[in-house]
Chains A and B, each alone.
Chain A
């Protein structure tokens, strides 16, 4: 019996990207796509596609010099995602 390669749910991917942005900003004051790619373990193309989606949802914004920043909505998403995962883990689901 083989295990399928673990696929990440879209919520997981969004969370990984947003956390990577938040972490990069906390550590380096700015968030660069290359560092976000490193933290979130995504291919560059996929990450850029998710950037577009996250920008449309108002969770991130990109400045002219290529830097990425997280909005309050993005921070709220991380909080809610953490809460969801903790709840699922605690309840044994």
Chain B
């Protein structure tokens, strides 16, 4: 009888060793393909428009695809004492960095929207307006430093872990994965709320597919935290289903965009008839 390691890094090792590699390969290929499809569509949009805030999405989804690749590699080298934790470490860092970059796209878009408002009313000089100005400045400092913090955390936390213990301490790495997943959930929460608010502002409630996709990806992280605590195979399988559902929903929306092209032609034809 084998004793279960309490510090599982790659949850695929929880599955039957005879099928875990095959399942991981299938899930990884599907996840990478879906991520690259999303990334490619956003990259095309960025290349066409040159809108800087769009760049976070293609780079983010490329990083996510790479993180899935490293997850599979860590499983392949699960018997290698160096490669296994190293690939797992890279996967964690890449995934969190990817989410931070996606969140940046929403952050910078929100900044651009806020910049559309004229502050000429602030010219009225009074103590009240001075207090308002101070709070606005503090808010500006906070909002301008937040993106830097978001991007820095996924680098600083794994690197500090590596510096403190270059030989990869398994329990510490497992704990770090837990904290990184909490961070991922917080970032997904931010992305979810930003996208929902934006869609509500645009009175576009029927297009809640993308927030739903982000909710699925949040659920993936949540299921992985449960897996961290009790090594539950059910929670892990749930996380895989949630991941694939989220990415598939994203791809569905991206493909739906191209089918919308026909509408304009129909509109012109209708006008022509009237």
Residues of A within 8 A of B (CB): 1-4, 11, 19, 22-23, 26-27, 78-84, 86-93
Interface assignment of B49: CB less than 8 Å from any CB of chain A: yes
Asked if A93 and B260 sit within 8 Å, CB to CB, the answer is no
List the B side residues contacting A87 at CB < 8 Å.
Answer: 41-42, 45, 254, 257
Taking a contact as CB atoms closer than 8 A, the residue among A4, A84, A90 that contacts B256 in the complex is: A90
List the A side residues contacting B197 at CB < 8 Å.
Answer: 92
Asked if A2 and B198 sit within 8 Å, CB to CB, the answer is no
List the B side residues contacting A92 at CB < 8 Å.
Answer: 106, 194-199, 202, 204, 207, 210-211
Given the known A-B contacts A84-B49, A93-B54, are A1 and B118 also in contact in the complex, defined by CB atoms under 8 Å?
A: yes
Q: Chain B CB within 10 Å — which of A4, A27, A86 has the most? A: A86
Which 10 interchain pairs have the tightest Cβ spacing?
A: A92-B195, A92-B198, A86-B257, A92-B199, A2-B118, A93-B109, A84-B45, A87-B257, A26-B268, A80-B48
Asked if A90 and B118 sit within 8 Å, CB to CB, the answer is no
Cα of A34 to Cα of B35 in the assembled complex, Å:
47
A-B contact pairs, 11 of them (CB 8 A): A1-B119, A2-B120, A3-B117, A79-B261, A87-B45, A87-B254, A90-B256, A92-B106, A92-B202, A93-B54, A93-B198
Residues of B within 8 A of A (CB): 41-42, 44-45, 48-49, 53-54, 57, 105-106, 109, 116-121, 194-199, 202, 204, 207, 209-211, 253-254, 256-258, 260-261, 264, 268-269, 271-272
**B118 to chain A: closest residue by CB:** A2
Taking a contact as CB atoms closer than 8 A, the residue among A2, A11, A22 that contacts B49 in the complex is: A11
Asked if A93 and B118 sit within 8 Å, CB to CB, the answer is no
Cα of A22 to Cα of B265 in the assembled complex, Å:
10
Cα of A26 to Cα of B116 in the assembled complex, Å:
36
Cα of A86 to Cα of B49 in the assembled complex, Å:
13
List the B side residues contacting A26 at CB < 8 Å.
Answer: 268-269, 272
